[in-house]
Amino acid sequence: MAGDPYGWPVLLALVLAAAISFVSSNIFIDDARDQLILREKYMRFGSQIVMQEQEKKANRRLMALKKMEISEALKTQQFPPSMHFFQAKHLMEDSQVFHIIRKMPKGAALHLHEFGMASMEWLVKNVTYRPNCYFCITPEGILQFKFARPAPPNPSAGECSNWVLLEEHRKNSKNVTEFDNSLLKAFTMVTKDPEKIYPSEEAVWKKSQNILLSISGLVRHAPVFKDYIFQGLKEFHEDNVFFLEIRTMLWPVYELNGETHDQLWVVKAYEEVIQEFSRTHRGFMGLRLIFSEDRNKSIAIIAHSVQKAMKLRELFPHLVAGFDLVGREDTGHNLYYYKEALTIPVMHGVKLPFFFHAGETDWYGTSIDRNLVDAMVLKTTRIGHGFALTKHPILRAYSKEKDIPIEVCPISNQVMKLVSDLRNHPAASLMGSGHPMVVSSDKPAIFGAKGLSYDFYEVFMGIGGKKADLRILKLLVMNSIKYSSLVQTDKDFYMKVWKDRWNKFIEKLARRPR
């Protein structure tokens, strides 16, 4: 090329000269590079874990599969953590990594909501097939259910259509499968085209609230309620999760004749189910309740609930772990608004652990975004979501120093439209600096998920990046026991039981042919 400042002969001479001094240059570059890379490596979540020989073997197997699946994804342009869960779910279920995660003993699920635990398929195929089940449709098109004998009096006009006996309706329906699918559609958020169907955060929150309204009459029927909790425990147990902490509002529960039961009854019902489940499921470690109230309520009501939580914790110390506020943060009151109510325990010298949702928002610099600081000032035990934490350097450092973990629920955050590509989830940055965290699934049933495995998969394959290995999985699981509300002796016991399970899992994984 004319005017080329260097011709090729000159170039070659220069490259040669460079090659001669290359050794010293590279030592310099490589040294600085290695130092920076090493410092990051040692900081990363899980890096402190030293793997035993068998774990190293198992890890090689796991990482080979992970690598293969990522390569495959690069070819097909279908990488599940980058896709919406509704579209990625079937891909995950084909993944060998996912099946290993399913089998992995996962410790505890610490962020769950009561009525999103058990799969909606079970609700449709089991509960709606029970006798004495009626339904009506509100003017907004929301299904409502009620179990009753005799038939319930019809709702007042404008509230709901007349009650229809479900059994009869199904008998007369031309296509039962189609009818059951329409129920399932009403009970979950799953859709083929989530971007279209849910154009805004309002739309997803509206739908999730409608689901709760719909299933409320089903799950709050006394016999169903106990079966529902049992079914939830069963699904988590099948997913190798043996301890659960559940946010519950302790809604009143009703009988066929319309009689309702209060919150004490509900807590006792939990106790019964736990006992029954423990009897039939070896290795089950229990369940604890985080009594929760709606963050749209008045200060007086929250004050009342805080005191109720104090009382319940006194009455059921083994069962009631503490208190939280639930509902959409962006449209509710912030924690500071309730400070009189939330400082009642400390004012009375009573211990009431808090497990506050905070920072489940994309809005930066709003009063809601302040929930993170308020949660910490109010000495929260853990932070529900903490999605906004990376925007707050001081709170990030503070929570790390005080060892306050965040409860990361990737699929929930994605479905609720906080983030689309999960490789961008802020937990990636927090993992980079070894921030304390656990993984949970929030309300898996309404997202069409089950147990914890789908969320663990997202973290392992997407959020943790290409290098995340067995150590991050192990730390996440150990964290779920460490940061649970169990007393120390129970934690120690569970950790011991879990370690046996873990070793068996590792042995099997290490033994699998390549």
> What residue type is 327 in one-letter code?
G
> What residue type is 439 in one-letter code?
V
> What residue type is 281 in one-letter code?
H
Residue 21 to residue 19: CA distance in whole angstroms = 5
Active site residue 304: no
36 makes contact with a copy of itself (CB under 8 A): yes
Of 227 and 369, nearer to a copy of itself (C-beta) is 369
47 makes contact with a copy of itself (CB under 8 A): no
391 makes contact with a copy of itself (CB under 8 A): yes
Neighbouring C-beta atoms of residue 292, cutoff 10 Å: 25
Q: Which two tokens stand for residue 361?
A: 């928002």
Q: How many residues bind a copy of itself (CB under 8 A)?
A: 89
| Cross-strand partners of 322 | 290
Name which of residues 293 to 332 contact a copy of itself (CB under 8 A): 300, 303-304, 307-308, 311-312, 315
Q: Which two tokens stand for residue 457?
A: 């998969």
Name which of residues 84 to 123 contact a copy of itself (CB under 8 A): none
Of 162 and 331, nearer to a copy of itself (C-beta) is 331
Of 114, 360, 407, 458, catalytic: 360
- Min dist. Cβ of residue 316 to a copy of itself (A): 11
- Min dist. Cβ of residue 312 to a copy of itself (A): 6
Of 262 and 492, nearer to a copy of itself (C-beta) is 262
- Min dist. Cβ of residue 42 to a copy of itself (A): 9
| Cross-strand partners of 247 | 113, 290
Of 43 and 151, nearer to a copy of itself (C-beta) is 43
Of 102 and 392, nearer to a copy of itself (C-beta) is 392
Q: Is 487 exposed, middle or buried (0-12, 13-18, 19+ CB in 10 A)?
A: exposed
CA angle, 319 then 375 then 411, to 5°: 75
CA angle, 418 then 76 then 476, to 5°: 45
Active site residue 333: no
Name which of residues 199 to 228 contact a copy of itself (CB under 8 A): 199-200, 202
- Min dist. Cβ of residue 240 to a copy of itself (A): 26
Residue 382 to residue 443: CA distance in whole angstroms = 18
Q: Is 3 exposed, middle or buried (0-12, 13-18, 19+ CB in 10 A)?
A: exposed
- Packing angle, helices 470-482 and 488-511, rounded to 10: 160
Of 35 and 52, nearer to a copy of itself (C-beta) is 35
- CB under 8 A: which stretch of 48-56, 119-127, 161-169, 389-397 binds a copy of itself? 389-397
Answer for the pair 427, 456: CB distance below 8 angstroms, yes or no: no
Of 385, 392, 425, 435, catalytic: 385
- Min dist. Cβ of residue 1 to a copy of itself (A): 5
411 makes contact with a copy of itself (CB under 8 A): no
The residue whose two tokens read 């079966």 is 227
SS3 105: coil
247 to 276: interface string for a copy of itself, x by CB under 8 A: -----x---------xxxx-----------
Name which of residues 57 to 86 contact a copy of itself (CB under 8 A): 77, 82
Q: What is the DSSP letter of 116?
A: G
Bridging pattern class, strands 164-165 and 133-137: antiparallel
339 makes contact with a copy of itself (CB under 8 A): yes
Name which of residues 477 to 496 contact a copy of itself (CB under 8 A): none
Which position among 104, 133, 166, 378 is part of the footprint of a copy of itself (CB under 8 A)? 378
CA angle, 12 then 16 then 18, to 5°: 115
Of 371 and 484, nearer to a copy of itself (C-beta) is 371
423 makes contact with a copy of itself (CB under 8 A): yes
What does residue 396 show for φ and ψ, rounded to 5 degrees?
-65, -45
Q: Catalytic site residues? A: 360, 385
